[in-house]
Structure 1
Amino acid sequence: MARWKAVDFILGEVKSIDVRERSLHELLLSMADTAFQGRALGEAYKILLDMFSDPDTTIFLGLAGSMSTAGMWRIIKWLVENRYVDVLVSTGANISEDIVEAMGFKYYKTYPTVDDSKLLELKYDRFYDTVVNELEYRQMENLIGEFIETLPKDSVYSSAEFLYLFGKYLNEKGIDSIVSAAYRAGVPVFSPALVDSGYGIAALLKYRKGHRIVLDMVKDFAQLVEIGLRSEKLSAIYIGGGVPKDYVNLVTVANTLIAEYEKGVHDYYKPLEYVVQFTTDAPQWGGLSGATLEEAVSWGKVSPRAKKKVVYVDATIALPLVAHGIASSGVKRVKPKDLKWVFNEVVK
């Protein structure tokens, strides 16, 4: 057995951070030479800078949870508008609950120990330490319902097509949300569990009155996979995990299976080359949200040589720091991808 040497496990020096005036960009870079999750955040930030500087990669952003109620939606909108991402895959919550604030309503701070029975009486819905007036929330759902009524009955859409048309509708109304920003930027927004949100409530109420639309989730997945097939390289940023993370991961799996079943090519992989995840989930429970990026290598989802990092941190901490670091760095996205072809069937 070969004897270990220090060179086999020492990655470099830990460098103490001195307190001085500096940009967030500079601070995040210096954190990469510290330890624990501070180092992880700094290393993830450096990977993002490399990701943005690669002209050949298509960048997917997987957005889980209910970040919009926590004041994070304008950061996502900024990333979309400045084309740091090419594709957004989101929960329905994030791309509906931002509209509440975009309509002029508010979320309010509260105590996590507030009496929820009293909130029920007063019609306030709680998200841990945040509340929203339910009647104002319903106005957001009503707005979605009004949009659905503009669509032909029994029309069929992928979620990306539906949200493109909704983004156009909101943009024309002057409601500046994530999907309206994505419409302007030509960024496809996919939401594989769209009805698990205010969209589902709005669609159901119209459905019961005979105004039926169909979301074709196989078409949705086919469009997402086609983006992967047409891309030279693939990258991902995951905020949380859940369905958005797996939906993006499955693009890589589908590429492998299409090569095998349709072309007879075996052992073909087009995995993620850069990937960063911000999560509070742990791997030992077996769920996808906490699954490590090393585990994803076994599926062919992440390259064994990928630049990858998981940061175990609340996204409400990581997102503002990283976004402001990018803004202060002057780093721009190199060659964002033109994916407007996804909307060819619905563009008029």
Structure 2
Amino acid sequence: MRTLIVTTTPNTKAAILNSPVEHIDITSFDARPIIDSMRKMSFTSRDLARATDIYNMMLEDKKCSIILTLAGSTSAAGCMQVYVELVKRGMVDAIVATGASIVDMDFFEALGYRHYQGSQFVNDMDLRDLYIDRIYDTYIDEEELQACDHTIKEIADSLPARPYSSREFIYEMGRWLKANSKKKDSLIETCFDHDVPIFCPAFTDSSAGFGLVVHQVENAKAKKPYMTLDAIADFRELTDIKVAAGTTGLLMVGGGVPKNFVQDTVVCAEILGHENVEMHKYAVQITVADSRDGACSSSTLKEACSWGKVDMAYEQMVFAEATSVIPLLASDAYHRGLWKDRSPRKFGKLFD
């Protein structure tokens, strides 16, 4: 017997956008008993427990600098505050992310806008008519997103016309938020305050791209110079961090460009002539990608070892949807408190 799912869509935007996504607070619950129990289980539970153990090893290792990579939509789905807390507590020293994670999700909410709980069982043409964008079961007001694009343009307009790495431009976004944010505690502003650099090597593959295109088109029409983004500078600067850090650990949420970008710094450092460059000593990746198609986003950490990027001693793949496991891993690490003895790296100061 088949069950017929009948869905109806309210006919006003306000009726649909009425249940904001609430971001989980890892300090409000202690996941240590859950992780301790999972360590005695099998399958993904034991993988998560081992991944959490490896992350705690990164925090305990005084020589280890930790790089967080973000891909996918976990920030829109309720994990934004997880990443903010990791930065505030000195549990992350640099971030490599997709443009969507930083602009469409974090910067967007810093402007006072929200993401909303919705449904994947909906007529998307109805949503389009109402200017509502859908990420699975999460909704975004397209008009607010375009206001976000316009703000990115305003920031670009205010800067001297020259090439910028994504880290430089995001730093300027943080400076702008210090004076203008509607919601404090955004990831961008928190990283600005703690000298934790954020890199978005595919920055324009996000809502930011629209604002930057308008900036360039308007300036070109007025025969004025305009700012550009320098992806090569991104690669060079992140490699500078790898060289300065020495021992490194990776906490990777999803795959995509951020994952490969941060792993490639080891090879880049070698090509630049640096001797005895350490592979990333520790690595955890949380992903739902299948490894059988040979895609980089789904390549295992063991595969990365063959390229000279990741050591095999302390690595763990966790095949799970990240919003269901990253809060547990982060809460466990927060409550075990190994971060309390870490010294802040303040890698942002490398580029002063």
Quickly name the TM-score band, shorter chain normalised: 0.7 to 0.9
Query: Does the aligned pair in 2 maintain the 1:161–1:342 contact within 8 Å?
Result: no
Mapping 1:212-227, distance limit 5 Å? 212-227=226-241
Q: 2:11 is matched with which residue?
A: none
Mapping 1:109-258, distance limit 5 Å? 109-152=117-160, 154-174=161-181, 175-176=183-184, 177-210=186-219, 212-258=226-272
1:95 aligns with 2:109: no
For each residue in 1:270-290, what CA deviation from the matched residue of structure 2 results, as whole angstroms up to 9, or x when unmatched?
201111010001110111121
Query: Aligned equivalents of 2:329 and 2:278: distance in 1?
Result: 27
For each residue in 1:156-191, what CA deviation from the matched residue of structure 2 results, as whole angstroms up to 9, or x when unmatched?
211111111111111222343211111001001000
Match of 1:275 among 283, 286, 292: 283
For each residue in 1:269-316, what CA deviation from the matched residue of structure 2 results, as whole angstroms up to 9, or x when unmatched?
420111101000111011112111111111111123x31101001011
Corresponding residue SS for 2:314:
strand
List 4+ stretches of structure 1 deviating above 4 A. none
Q: Which runs of 5+ in 2 are unaligned?
A: 1-28, 220-224
1:323 aligns with 2:333: no
Residue 218 of structure 1 aligns to which amino acid in structure 2?
I
Query: Aligned equivalents of 1:23 and 1:59: distance in 2?
Result: 22
Q: 2:13 is matched with which residue?
A: none
1:86 aligns with 2:93: yes
TM-score (normalizing by structure 1): 0.86
Corresponding residue SS for 2:272:
helix
Q: 1:49 is matched with which residue?
A: 56
Q: 2:80 is matched with which residue?
A: 73
TM-score (normalizing by structure 2): 0.85
Q: 1:15 is matched with which residue?
A: none
Query: Aligned equivalents of 1:193 and 1:59: distance in 2?
Result: 21
Query: Aligned equivalents of 2:149 and 2:135: distance in 1?
Result: 17
Query: Does the aligned pair in 1 maintain the 2:30–2:331 contact within 8 Å?
Result: no
Query: Aligned equivalents of 1:314 and 1:125: distance in 2?
Result: 21
Residue 30 of structure 1 and its aligned partner are, at CA, apart by 2.7
Query: Aligned equivalents of 2:92 and 2:337: distance in 1?
Result: 16
**Superposed CA RMSD:** 1.6
Residue 240 of structure 1 aligns to which amino acid in structure 2?
G
Query: Aligned equivalents of 1:84 and 1:328: distance in 2?
Result: 12
For each residue in 1:83-119, what CA deviation from the matched residue of structure 2 results, as whole angstroms up to 9, or x when unmatched?
2111100000000122222222222222212000111
1:24 aligns with 2:31: yes
Query: Does the aligned pair in 2 maintain the 1:188–1:342 contact within 8 Å?
Result: no
Corresponding residue SS for 1:294:
helix
Q: 2:26 is matched with which residue?
A: none
Query: Does the aligned pair in 2 maintain the 1:29–1:46 contact within 8 Å?
Result: no
Residue 195 of structure 1 and its aligned partner are, at CA, apart by 0.4
Query: Does the aligned pair in 1 maintain the 2:30–2:335 contact within 8 Å?
Result: yes
Q: 1:342 to 1:293 in 2, by over 3 A?
A: same
Query: Does the aligned pair in 2 maintain the 1:81–1:181 contact within 8 Å?
Result: yes
Query: Does the aligned pair in 2 maintain the 1:73–1:94 contact within 8 Å?
Result: no
Query: Aligned equivalents of 1:178 and 1:155: distance in 2?
Result: 26
Query: Aligned equivalents of 2:42 and 2:311: distance in 1?
Result: 25
Query: Aligned equivalents of 2:154 and 2:351: distance in 1?
Result: 22
Query: Does the aligned pair in 1 maintain the 2:195–2:349 contact within 8 Å?
Result: no
Query: Aligned equivalents of 2:172 and 2:351: distance in 1?
Result: 9
Residue 73 of structure 1 and its aligned partner are, at CA, apart by 1.4
Match of 1:340 among 338, 348, 351: 348
Query: Aligned equivalents of 1:208 and 1:258: distance in 2?
Result: 36
Query: Does the aligned pair in 2 maintain the 1:255–1:270 contact within 8 Å?
Result: no
For each residue in 1:183-205, what CA deviation from the matched residue of structure 2 results, as whole angstroms up to 9, or x when unmatched?
00100100000000111111011
Q: Which runs of 5+ in 1 are unaligned?
A: 1-21
Q: 2:320 is matched with which residue?
A: 313
Q: Percent identity?
A: 33
Q: 2:19 is matched with which residue?
A: none
Q: 1:14 is matched with which residue?
A: none
Counting matched residue pairs gives 315
